[in-house]
């Protein structure tokens, strides 16, 4: 399985992210609280399905979240 593109909005601490991997290894880096774990969680939610969602997956203050994983 290869991830071609990830788009996520308002998932946990993320505002918005779009990632298109162009190699075998993709580094997800950033300061504490910048959303690195939220990116990984968004991929997990998309792959594992609705049963994997936590009780509050939507960013605080937002009405809905969106994840698209190809």
Q: pLDDT digits over 2-32, tens only?
A: 899 999 999 999 999 999 999 888 899 999 9
Q: How far apart are CA 66 and CA 46, in angstroms?
A: 10
Q: How far apart are CA 44 and CA 40, in angstroms?
A: 6
pTM of the predicted model over 0.85: yes
Per DSSP, 58 falls in state B
Report pLDDT for 46: 96
Region for 17 from its dihedrals, namely left if φ exceeds 0, alpha if ψ lies in -120 to 50, beta otherwise: beta
Q: Which residue has the tokens 């936590």?
A: 54
Alpha helices (H) along the chain: 36-48
Report pLDDT for 23: 86
């Amino acid at each position: 399985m290869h991830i071609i593109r990830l788009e996520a909005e308002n998932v946990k601490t993320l505002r918005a992210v779009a990632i298109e991997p162009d190699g075998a290894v993709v580094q997800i880096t950033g300061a504490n609280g910048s959303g690195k774990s939220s990116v990984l969680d968004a991929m997990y939610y998309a792959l594992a399905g609705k049963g994997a969602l936590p009780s509050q997956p939507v960013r605080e203050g937002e009405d809905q979240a969106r994840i698209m994983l190809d």
